[in-house]
Amino acid sequence: MNRHEKIQQIAVTAAQMQEIEGRIFAGGMPVAALMEKVAGLIYKRVQSLFPNSSVPIKVGFLIGPGHNGGDGLVVARELHFRGYQVNIYRPFSKLKDLTAQHDLYAQSLGICYVENVADLQDCDLIIDGLFGFGLEREIKDNLAEAINELNEWSKPVISIDLPSGLHTDTGEVLGTAIKATHTLCLGLWKLGLLHDRALEYVGKAELIDFDIPWTDITAILGETPQIQRVTTEFIKQHLPLPRPPVTHKYKQGHLLLICGSRKYAGGAILTGLGARGSGVGMLSIAVPESLKPLLVSHLPEALIIGCEETGNGAISSLPDGVNLGSYDAIACGPGITTEATTIVEEVLANNKPVILDADGLNILAQMGTISTLEKRQATTVLTPHAGEFKRLFPDLENLQQNRVEAVKKAAELTGAIVLLKGARTAIANTSRIWIIPESTPALARGGSGDVLTGLIGGLLAQGIAANTNSLVERVVIAAWWHAQAGILAAKERTELGVDAFTLTQFLNPVLANHFSSLL
């Protein structure tokens, strides 16, 4: 993996970025020279996104007091030289020294300065250079009013580094924030851009790599950064899953799914189809006896285990012949209802890797999440959405404030691999955090989580059968694969939503699209 590919996987906090930049400057890089280099990369990208024509594009700039404003002024100068019609709104009188110098030069060139943000309303494009990383204070008063007015225009907005008003680490809106259509993140990805609540403001984000020395990055973050942004290059290290030329079905993993009830029969089918898509060698599915014919018709290759059921059609017990220790992994929860408490207790008491989802998680919450999982020696994977997470970890009140910290703490408290679903799914074990940086709102349909549970289970079972120690990477792969299938399905169908059954049909096309050279 080359340097650029490694850079794409890193996400940093404001403090980490400040330390890394400090090393760059301490090494002898002049601040002014770095600003010129970075701004040069920005204006070239702006030119490619919005090429000038015989009728000059009118560009409005929002200029702040710090180096983000300095970057903006250099970009404004360069676009002015290339025939763009530039207008600058600078609501601050006191500027940092370097920014003030660029401001004086822009004025000497005759670039137009405007008094009010409303004077930029006839611009074709707005470039936001108000605040860079590290903003902590809330935006108020006249500046907040100006940002709110600009957000109402529905014009293309390019934010430099991150939209002004977003907290660098958490994506929190500090009073108000610019709603960008494009964000050009500088140097390294800022963690706040990967939070769900920031997505409304970020638009299409891309990294402007200005050649930070790798030694400066590793000096602060270590050789293996704690937070990793999951990229296709990362996935290519693990997919397609290797298969020896001589093998058989049981060497490719045996997964047991425990799912479904009379009320939620579809949960069992969708989980099974997700597992099928993983390529697992053998699939067994335990369902209430009354659902057995239905499952056989949808998954004829699976071993369907009929179970005694309650009066409401939930699994009441597993058959005597089912030995949980004979499977490589067990996934439990979709559609079982909270009547199946004894089943979840039995599953957690065994020494095989377990994936819990849906009612499996709700039952675990009733049992006591931390006290129950502290007793487990084998791998446990929890896959909650936000509501289930709150039930599992009621004391982690900072979920909405910082999803990344919340999932990290949950993993530390339980020793489990915790996957917190969302527009930017976060996965954590006790030492690292992975964030899926791309998804689609089309996945906001019932049953898509069941597909993910089956996919995770199938990949884990194959990992156990292959004696791999990188089980958390299998969970990360499943989350990425699931998201990519949703993106692909939405492109071919509709962004209004991809039903879970259709989603399962796009699992294999993801491999064909991304790894055709490897297949």
No. of H helices and E strands in the chain?
A: 20, 20
For 14, 50, 133, 282, 415, the CA distances from 200, given in Å and listed in that order, are 21, 22, 18, 42, 33
Q: Angle, nearest 10°, between helix axes 97-108 and 31-49? A: 50
Decide if 427 contacts 476 (C-beta within 8 A): yes
Among 272, 260, 475, 479, which residue's Cα sits nearest to residue 358? 260
pLDDT score of 518:
42
pLDDT score of 495:
62
Q: Can you say which residues are annotated as belonging to the binding site for (6S)-NADPHX?
A: 67-71, 132-138, 161, 335, 385, 450
Question: Residue 370 and residue 332: Cα distance in Å, rounded?
Answer: 18
> Where do the DSSP E strands lie in 31-108?
58-63, 85-89
Q: Can you say which residues are annotated as belonging to the binding site?
A: 67-71, 128, 132-138, 161, 164, 335, 385, 421-425, 449-450
How open is the CA angle 286-511-5, to the nearest 5 degrees? Answer: 120
pLDDT score of 116:
96
Question: Residue 225 and residue 209: Cα distance in Å, rounded?
Answer: 18
pLDDT score of 468:
76
pLDDT one digit per residue (tens) for the chain, 519 residues = 788 889 999 999 999 999 999 999 999 999 999 999 999 999 999 999 999 988 899 999 999 999 999 999 999 999 999 999 999 999 999 999 999 999 999 999 999 999 999 999 999 999 999 999 999 999 999 999 999 999 999 899 999 999 999 999 999 999 999 999 999 999 999 999 999 999 999 999 999 999 999 999 999 999 888 999 999 999 988 876 777 787 878 778 999 999 999 999 999 999 999 999 999 999 999 999 999 999 999 999 999 999 999 999 999 999 999 999 999 999 999 999 999 999 999 999 999 999 999 999 999 999 999 999 999 999 999 999 999 999 999 988 667 678 999 999 999 999 999 999 999 999 999 999 999 999 999 999 999 999 999 999 999 999 888 777 789 999 999 999 999 999 999 998 766 789 999 999 999 998 877 775 444
Second-level CATH architecture of 3-229:
3-Layer(aba) Sandwich (3.40)
Question: Residue 5 and residue 9: Cα distance in Å, rounded?
Answer: 7
pLDDT score of 519:
40
Question: Residue 407 and residue 228: Cα distance in Å, rounded?
Answer: 14
How open is the CA angle 287-290-296, to the nearest 5 degrees? Answer: 65
pLDDT score of 461:
96
- Extract the tokens encoding 61: 């700039």
- Extract the tokens encoding 215: 């030694």
Considering the four listed CATH numbers 3.60.20.10, 3.40.1190.20, 2.40.160.10, 1.10.3720.10, the one that applies to the domain covering 235-514 is: 3.40.1190.20
Among 270, 180, 203, 166, which residue's Cα sits nearest to residue 501? 270
pLDDT score of 400:
65
In DSSP terms, 317 is beta-bridged to 308
Asked whether the CA dihedral 352, 448, 361, 295 is positive or negative, the reply is negative
Task: Give the residue ranges of DSSP H helices in 393-447.
Answer: 403-414
Give me the half-sphere count of Cα atoms (radius 13 Å) on the Cβ side of residue 390.
6
Q: Angle, nearest 10°, between helix axes 448-465 and 471-492? A: 140
Question: What 3-state class would DSSP assign to 16?
Answer: helix
> Could you give the residue range(s) of every CATH 3.40.50.10260 domain in the chain?
3-229
Q: Can you say which residues are annotated as belonging to the binding site for K(+)?
A: 68, 128, 164
**Three-state secondary structure string covering 249-271:** HHHHCEEEEECCCCCCHHHHHHH
Decide if 210 contacts 186 (C-beta within 8 A): yes
| Total-model pTM | 0.95
How open is the CA angle 51-54-57, to the nearest 5 degrees? Answer: 50
For 43, 122, 126, 408, the CA distances from 56, given in Å and listed in that order, are 15, 13, 14, 50
State residue 76 phi and psi, 5-degree precision.
-60, -45
Contacts of 364 (CB under 8 A, 6+ apart): 344, 348, 356, 372, 373, 382, 392
State the pairing for strand pair 315-317/303-309. Answer: antiparallel
Contacts of 143 (CB under 8 A, 6+ apart): 91, 130
Question: Residue 231 and residue 483: Cα distance in Å, rounded?
Answer: 12
Among 434, 435, 432, 433, which residue's Cα sits nearest to residue 423? 435
